[in-house]
Amino acid sequence: MRRHVVGGWLRAVFARPQGAEPQQDDTVELPGPAGTPSPAEIDALVARAEAAARQGLVKQTYVVDARTRVRIDARHGKAKVQELDASTLTKMMGGKDRPLRPDASADLLRVIGIMNADGSISSQHAKKYKQVNHFVEICRPIWDTVDARRDPDSPLRVLDLACGNGYLTFVMAEALRLRGTAARIHGVDVREDVVTRCIERAEALGWPHVTFTRARIEAVDPKAVLDGPPDLVVALHACDTATDDALALAIHTGAGAILAAPCCQHELARQLPDQTDCLPPPMLQQGLLRRDHAALLTDALRVQMLEACGYTVDLLEFVHGSHTPKNLLIRARRRHSGALDRGSWDFTAVREQCERLGVRPTLLERLGPSIR
C-alpha cells in the first residue's frame, strides 16, 4: 500500500465486507493530507489501516485522485489499482453517457449520497443516479431559454421553493457549472433541519453561490435572496397549494421559466360537488377516482392560468411512474421578456369554468381577484 500513496491520497475508506453483520462503524472515511505526505503521515495511515483490519474493516480503498482508486482486501493484502477509464465509466453510467459523470461530478455525487466514499455507485443508488441525470436533460431546454435572455454580466438566478433536502438544487448547480453558466441559486424550505443540512452540503462543496433559508413561500422576497429577480423558479413536490404559492410568486416576479412538479393536490377534491351532470357518478362517489380527477383538474387549471399569464407550457414525465406516481412536471417558459403586462392577463374563461365546476383554486386567488 505504501508505494501507491507515497504521492498523496484524497481519502481512505475502510469498510466491512459484503454480507458481514451490520455494525455502527461499518465504514470509516479518513481525509488525505493537504499535499505530499511525510513519512510519518504514511506510517500513521498504515497503522490506521492495520487497526481497521483488526476491527473487521478489511475492504480498504485509497482514492488517489479523481480517476484512480487502490483497493485492498486486508485478508489477502494484494492491492488492485482501478482507473476510471472509458469502459469503467460507461459501466458506472449504465451503458450511456450522462451529464453528471462519475469522474467530473464525483464531489457532488458523493455529497448528495449517490456515490459511495470509495468512488463506487451501488445498485441501491443506481436508479437515483439515472433519475437526477434525467432531470438535467429535462432542464436543458429551460436553461437554454433563460440563459439566452439574461444579462451576460449577471449570474443566472434560480429560486428553488420547497427545496427539501436540496438534492436537485445541488444537481442544478452542478449541471450549470459543467455548462459554464455562472449561477446564483437559493433554496427555501420551512423545515429547519433540512435547511441546516443543505447549508452544510453547500459548505462541504465550497459553493458560496448556493444558499438556503428557512421561510414560507409567500414570505420570500426573491430580489433580496438573489440580488435580483429570478430567471428560473423551481418547485418540485411542493405539497398541495404550496405549488400554487410557488407558481404565483414566479408569475408575479416575471420569472423567465418555471419547473413545477405538483403533489398531494387535496384542495379541489374537497371542493368538488358530490354530483354533476357532466361526470359519471362514480367519478365523484369513489374516493380514488375523485382524488385522481381532482388532481388532473388542478393541474389543467394551473396550465390554463400560466398560459393566460403569457407562458408557453408543456407537461412531461418527471420520473418513471414505476418509481413514484407523483411524476408530472409542468415546464413553462415566458413568451416575452421585459416588463410584466398584467393588463394582458385574461382569466375570464378559467373563471367561468371554475364556476361551472363549483371550485375556486388557490392559484386563481393568488394571481389577483381584481384581474379580469
Residue 323 is predicted with a pLDDT of 44
Q: How far apart are CA 84 and CA 71, in angstroms?
A: 13
255 close to 332: Cβ distance less than 8 angstroms: no
Tell me the H-state helices in 272-371: 282-285, 287-308, 348-357, 362-366
Tell me the pLDDT tens digit for each residue of 2-24.
889 999 999 999 999 877 776 76
| β-strand pairing of 210-214 with 232-239 | unpaired
* Global pTM value: 0.86
- Paired sense of beta strands 27-31 and 11-15, if any: antiparallel
CA angle 309, 246, 140 (to 5 degrees): 80
The residue written with cell numbers 453561490 in the block is 209
Q: Which residues pair with 59 in a beta bridge?
A: 15, 73
Interhelix angle 167-178/192-205, nearest 10 degrees:
30
Domain 129-264+309-340: state its class.
alpha beta
Q: Which of 38-42, 88-92, 176-180, 231-235 has the lowest mean pLDDT?
A: 88-92
Average pLDDT, the chain: 90
Judged against a pLDDT cut of 90, whether residue 264 lies above it is answered with no
Show me where the domains of the chain are located: 1-83, 129-264+309-340
Cβ contact 9:64 at 8 Å:
yes
Integer angstrom CA distances of residue 67 from 6, 42, 167, 174? 17, 21, 24, 19
Q: What is the reported pLDDT for 234?
A: 96
Query: Model confidence at 286, in pLDDT bands (50, 70, 90)?
Result: confident
Would you say residue 318 has pLDDT above 80?
A: no
pLDDT confidence bin for 150, thresholds 50/70/90: confident
CA 160/CA 200 separation, integer angstroms: 17
What pLDDT is attached to residue 269? 85
CA distance 245 to 326: 19
pLDDT, tens only, 117-141: 888 888 888 999 999 999 999 999 9
Name the pLDDT band for 319 (thresholds 50, 70, 90). low
- pLDDT of residue 325 exceeding 80, the answer is no
Digit-coded pLDDT (tens) for 167-226: 999 999 999 999 999 999 999 999 999 999 999 999 999 999 999 999 999 999 999 999
Q: What does the pLDDT look like over 328-342, one tens digit per residue?
A: 899 999 998 888 888
257 in Cβ contact with 231 (< 8 Å): yes
List C-alpha distances in Å: 45 to 5, 60, 227, 313: 10, 12, 46, 56
